Structure 1
């Protein structure tokens, strides 16, 4: 009887061990290439995403900021006028807050549900250069880490049905005397001995809080710290429209929809060459349509994010269902980029009918991560891309990205299912295709179809990648 009991207990213990082991192992979908991905026609899904994004609608009532005490010659702040007009509009059930032609000084603008902030042609909104005007601190984010910091210049928190539209200009007034020196780079006005974002009381302290899991509300920075705010940040918002306006002179990232759903960015111009002046960074966001825009930036034109390290894993929201089309990319570190704050993962990105061309554009399509970030990046489709000139690579996938020290960890990234179709490149720069995978987790299932790359120094450099396919593809005149 004792022998039977021992046998039964042994079997039960074995089952428990197997069960625990299986729970700790990645599921098959995290380690194997999906057999269901259709490289022949993924664009029907892109059409569905665009079709299903709800465009905000607003009441016809107009709230002119001039009626609330605004000054249109830039001689004094119109901060209170913006606040009162937005408040009145929201209280009335929504409508259009109108900014007529003229120059307006203001502090941060906080949007509310059902409000369309509309800039007439000839309107320029200039934001205060006094950092104290961006207090008290609000719930925001810096490079994929949530915290309490200076308010974004235009901010919406947990709002629905909001818009920024028109043909006017938002001027962040960031320059080598305001915001930019905190980057710590001489070219942006930093001088030896000045405080900067990489000092111990800034990024290292915030990174330590993220590592320890400190609650966001306890990560209080703002005054006395050197974190630059984003320009326009809809945070946990639903149904967002950004259309027609121009952004210049941004302190940091320009458009940063974070944890938001149903976002359309249409016919927007970003002309801003400061540090970290990314054009549009959807983060933890779903159902995003970026179309007809011009990006001429100091960093990535478009960079899709999903949190840095433990914060990305804590939040656990994948950025997905993102369509980028009919855009022009000029200067920038990359045309369309995924990463490096990518710990929550990215999937279902559709990039079509875009033009990229500048001697100051480093890469066309880029994916960057490492084993601290981790993340699964999958189902990235590129079609009808025209590239005049890039510096480094047409396609760059790097799982050893490291701009900061200590970027090796225990979170192996997974990258799979990448398609480039109908791509024409006149001057490909240093590399045609540059892929740096990991032996433990190779980049999988990359297909180039109808791709022509001219004038490139190194056609291919590929490390640790599987299932790389070339169909009707030529690089420097050689077919692959």
Structure 2
């Protein structure tokens, strides 16, 4: 009996790494009736001239499709200016070559509502593209979601110049896409560019495939909070074949924050995440755990290439939040361009509030780095919050790299295994103490 359960779970995990649609069909059956009906946004009255505001017409087309049994809204070639739009269950979106869904720069076109952001809910701007409870959702094509981000970035930096205590949420800026409470979701082929805030935010979703996507902002420009993909309280997510050129975390695994975070029923553990065959040009890290996160486990990153100044792994440890990061494995990573740090595990104290509670404990365990090659900037650091963090079972195996700063800066007492690690042509050994 126990063997049967193990076999069923093994098959479940195997399927979870395949396409989300195949997983859901094989395991729990279809979640939503899909139709082949396709409706062009132009036939619904939208104008792709980059000038006319199409929010109402695009939304009316979505609502009509939903009322008539579902289908796919198609954006043909053209620039379709819009404020926040909301997909409905059974309605998919396809952007043809040359199609651009371009976000308005007027915040009035994104009416404030209760929304999930930075580990909690508050009145804030919705995204340009929103979907809630849309099981079986498909967002596809080779077009672009353009957030028209420059005015939003300027507004943030202007506010920060006036008050250096300005926080991210003090300056409302729309995300490009927020998908929440949805199962069997696929996004493929699209370019997300110049988001005013986070690019793609997934909240409480399961069985998600994000494939062959591009997330980008202009080089040599500060574009605050432009995370590429935020995986918030989700399970069974696969990201593959994507490229990242952003000015914040590339893939960020998120949950809740604060002393009572473990009791937050709105923020289940982030689990069973697969990131593979992706390329990184700019950003904080291939994958980052935090800055708001409680439990993150079973994360595998493999066959990825770093071409710019991007860390391999970032682990943010908040002094005000109980955290458990475990079973995180990175393998077959190529470093190009000389800008990569292999590991950055450190306290994250940018914004924290103990709310009068005792400092909570955090744990990092069973993290492996295997088969890493190329030229990077530094080995990195392993450090926690004093008296709060326990870091153990960290393995570096089959690594051959050139590093400008070759020493691993690690606190005493961390169980670190070094197996066949060569740095700057010499076998690496941990210094005593």
TM-score of Structure 1 vs Structure 2, range by shorter chain: 0.7 to 0.9
* CA distance in structure 1 between the partners assigned to 2:340 and 2:243 by the alignment: 21
2:326 maps to 378
1:180 maps to 153
* CA distance in structure 2 between the partners assigned to 1:240 and 1:109 by the alignment: 18
- The answer as to whether partners of 1:61 and 1:96 remain within 8 angstroms in 2 is yes
Aligned partner of 2:186 among 241, 244, 253: 241
Structure 1: state its 5+ residue gaps. Answer: 1-42, 204-224
Query: Cα distance 1:403–1:194, how it changes in 2: closer, same or farther (>3 A)?
Result: closer
- The answer as to whether partners of 1:357 and 1:389 remain within 8 angstroms in 2 is yes
Displacement of 1:420 after TM fit? Answer: 1.1
TM-score (norm 2): 0.86
Q: After TM superposition, where is structure 1 displaced by more than 6 Å over at least 4 residues in a row? A: 43-46
1:140-219 pair list within 5 angstroms: 140-175=115-150, 178-183=151-156, 185=157, 189-190=158-159, 192-193=161-162, 197-198=166-167
- The answer as to whether partners of 2:74 and 2:95 remain within 8 angstroms in 1 is yes
* CA distance in structure 2 between the partners assigned to 1:47 and 1:237 by the alignment: 21
1:215 maps to none
2:271 maps to 320
More helix by share: 1
* CA distance in structure 1 between the partners assigned to 2:335 and 2:87 by the alignment: 37
1:40-55 pair list within 5 angstroms: 47-51=14-18, 53-54=20-21
Structure 2: state its 5+ residue gaps. Answer: 1-9, 23-31, 429-433
Displacement of 1:196 after TM fit? Answer: 8.4
* CA distance in structure 2 between the partners assigned to 1:281 and 1:190 by the alignment: 25
Size of the aligned set, in residue pairs, is: 401
Query: Cα distance 1:440–1:134, how it changes in 2: closer, same or farther (>3 A)?
Result: closer
- The answer as to whether partners of 1:322 and 1:350 remain within 8 angstroms in 2 is yes
* CA distance in structure 2 between the partners assigned to 1:381 and 1:270 by the alignment: 23
2:99 maps to 123
SS at match of 1:68: coil
SS at match of 2:81: strand
* CA distance in structure 1 between the partners assigned to 2:269 and 2:160 by the alignment: 39
* CA distance in structure 2 between the partners assigned to 1:312 and 1:243 by the alignment: 33
Query: Cα distance 1:367–1:390, how it changes in 2: closer, same or farther (>3 A)?
Result: farther
Task: Determine if the alignment matches structure 1 residue 470 to structure 2 residue 418.
Answer: yes
Displacement of 1:406 after TM fit? Answer: 5.6
Deviations 1:294-351 (A, max 9, x none): 10001111111112225743234100000000100111121211112112x1000010
Displacement of 1:272 after TM fit? Answer: 2.0
* CA distance in structure 2 between the partners assigned to 1:83 and 1:380 by the alignment: 41
Deviations 1:52-96 (A, max 9, x none): 733688311101111110112223112222112211221222221
Displacement of 1:456 after TM fit? Answer: 2.7
SS at match of 1:51: coil
Larger radius of gyration: 1
Deviations 1:231-276 (A, max 9, x none): 2111222221111110111011111101111111110101125101
2:372 maps to 423
Displacement of 1:45 after TM fit? Answer: 8.5
